[in-house]
Amino acid sequence: MLPPGPRVPSLWQLVEFTRRPLPWLEDCARRHGDPFTVRLPGYAPFVFVAAPALIKAVFTGDDDVLHAGKANVVLEPLVGKHSVLLLDGAPHLRERRLLSPPLRGERMHAYAGLIADVAAAEVARMPRDRPFALHDHMQAITMDVILRAVFGVDEGAPMRELRQLLLDVLRPPPALLAFLPVKYVDVPGSPFRAFLRRRATVARALHRMIAARRAAPAAPRADILSLLLGARDDAGRPMTDDELCDELLTMLVAGHETTATGLSWAVACLLEHPATLVRLRDELATVTDPAGYAGLDYLDAVVRETLRVRPIVPDVVRQLQRPMRFAGHDLPAGVYLTPCIHLAHRRADVYAEPAAFRPERFLGVKPDPYAWLPFGGGIRRCLGMAFALYEMKLVLGVVLSRLRLELAAPGPVRVTRRTVTLAPAGGTRVRIV
């Protein structure tokens, strides 16, 4: 028997999950307990869990039974079939071993200057005379950081051209459609055919870039693509061009909008909490070189607390490949076990006053990986976690030390769904004062 859950039709559950995901998930937990079952049309049931012990059971469970790649299949037309996001089992582990070394925390200082330069250039472009959506500028920053740090392209015409191609291919579908298991129809004149054309154009550009990089191994470079070109798996094989192309797109898809959203939320939370902002500014003022922002304790706590109260994605999913006994229930194969990031972050038994934005709670505390999970967990935990945390700290340091901002309209800034991410409504509208 599945755990209890809402009895309304699955289409209505989809509407609720899309339109007001967070209050709706909270209602479900209040009414039905933990775990509870959600049904969306065309999908097997989703069993949501929030207690740290249950989340631990999912994240440390048998990888042969709990597959994430299958649950991400909707992303295949965009990221490509070689993407780490779509793989499970041994092929997934091989791909993670290849991708992890360039993304480890200790490598991040190589990107400090680049991130600070990109952020400072974007600060200069922000309008001085009118309110504006900060999110657009954060997206521009995270796109340029990925182009330069991951793809290794330098300023100039090729970078502008590639940026435009990537922006075209990333244009999101309406949020509701993203969760309907629609079969894409590839017929002349269809939006999907047009998308496939844009995807093929991007792939050609990336293949040209990869071939050029292979042909002319210049002086040692720090970008992630260059490091991946030299990576070898356990059998001594390098990554193929198709794999590299798909993983570059994966890192863009997984890292661009998410990090920009985290940055927009951090500023929204800080502008709603002036005393916290004052304390942060005092800490930022102790640093002269932007690389120093990465080592600041309060800034680190601000970023972690932002990702706790405003997680970018509300849940992660593992699909059962075999029946499994879980929390006293016999779950059939096919069920999606779903650690709920939002509910885990709002547990009063773990976080005092869980709805309050209070970075102090993370000072001198190592977050529990089963109670603080904005990057998911287990063998699927976000490969870009160190990168994203580092980038967020540097960008916030540069932006907040150069600008005085205020919200364009009184807060709190509402949560809105942008396909899979939960973003600030209006893109955090601010003005420079």
Token pair recorded at residue 232 = 């070898």
Sort strands 66-67 and 336-339 into parallel, antiparallel or unpaired.
unpaired
Q: Contact between 376 and ligand HEM (CB under 6 A)? A: yes
- Of 35, 52, 359, 377, the one binding ligand HEM (CB under 6 A) is 377
Q: Which is nearer to ligand HEM, 20 or 381 (CB)?
A: 381
Asked whether position 424 contacts ligand HEM by CB under 6 A, the answer is no
Exposure of 102 by Cβ count < 10 A (0-12 exposed, 13-18 middle, 19+ buried)? buried
User: How many whole angstroms separate alpha carbon 327 and alpha carbon 32?
Assistant: 14
Site residues (CB under 6 A) for ligand HEM, limited to 94-153: 96
What minimum distance in Å lies between the beta carbon of 68 and ligand HEM?
A: 5
Options 209, 270, 312, 324; binder of ligand HEM; rule CB under 6 A? 312
Give the nearest distance from C-beta 391 to ligand HEM in angstroms.
7
Q: Buried b / exposed e across 9-28, counting CB within 10 Å, b at 16+?
A: eeeebbebbbeebbebbeeb
* Residue 205, phi-psi category: left (phi > 0), alpha (psi -120 to 50), beta (remainder): alpha
Cβ nearer to ligand HEM, comparing 92 with 213: 92
Contact 380, 316 (CB under 8 A): yes
Task: Please tell me whether residue 29 binds ligand HEM under the rule CB under 6 A.
Answer: no
Question: What is the token pair recorded at 210?
Answer: 């990869």
Of the candidate residues 102, 384, 397, 424, the single one contacting ligand HEM (CB under 6 A): 384
- 330-369 residues in contact with ligand HEM (CB under 6 A) are none
SS3 percent helix, strand, coil of the chain, rounded to 5, is: 55, 10, 35
For ligand HEM, the closer CB: 81 or 193: 81
Q: Which stretch binds ligand HEM (CB under 6 A): 6-14, 162-170, 283-291, 381-389?
A: 381-389
The minimum distance between CB 272 and ligand HEM, in angstroms, equals 19
Angle value at C-alpha 301, between 274 and 84, nearest 5 degrees: 125
- Please name which of 19, 37, 18 lies closest in space to residue 29, comparing C-alpha atoms: 37
Q: Which of 40, 55, 84, 267 binds ligand HEM (CB under 6 A)?
A: 84
Q: 162 and 147 in contact (C-beta within 8 Å)?
A: yes
**388 contacts ligand HEM (rule: CB under 6 A):** yes
Is the CB of 80 or the CB of 384 nearer to ligand HEM? 384
Least Cβ distance, residue 387 to ligand HEM (angstroms): 5
- Rg of the chain's alpha carbons, rounded to an integer? 22
Tokens 């590639």 -> residue: 162
Q: Is 290 in the site for ligand HEM (CB under 6 A)?
A: no
Q: Specify the residue, 35 or 384, whose C-beta has the smaller distance to ligand HEM.
A: 384
- Residue nearer to ligand HEM on the CB measure, 107 or 431: 107
Q: Establish if 284 lies at the interface with ligand HEM (CB under 6 A).
A: no
DSSP characters over 251-282: HHHHHHHHHHHHHHHHHHHHHH-HHHHHHHHH
Please name the residue that has the structure tokens 């069993």: 47
What is the distance between the alpha carbons of residues 302 and 363, in angstroms, rounded to a whole number?
Answer: 9
Q: Least distance from C-beta 185 to ligand HEM, angstroms?
A: 28
Give the x-and-dash track for 241-280 against ligand HEM (CB under 6 A). ---------xx--xx--xx--x------------------
| β-strand partners of 133 | 429
96 or 107: CB nearest ligand HEM: 96
Q: For ligand HEM, what does the binding mask look like between residues 44 and 83, x meaning CB under 6 A? A: ------------------------x---------------
Least distance in angstroms from the C-beta of 414 to ligand HEM:
19
The region that residue 136 occupies, defined by phi over 0 for left and psi between -120 and 50 for alpha, beta otherwise, is alpha
Residues interacting with ligand HEM, by CB under 6 A? 68, 84-85, 96, 250-251, 254-255, 258-259, 262, 312-313, 316, 374-377, 380-384, 387-388
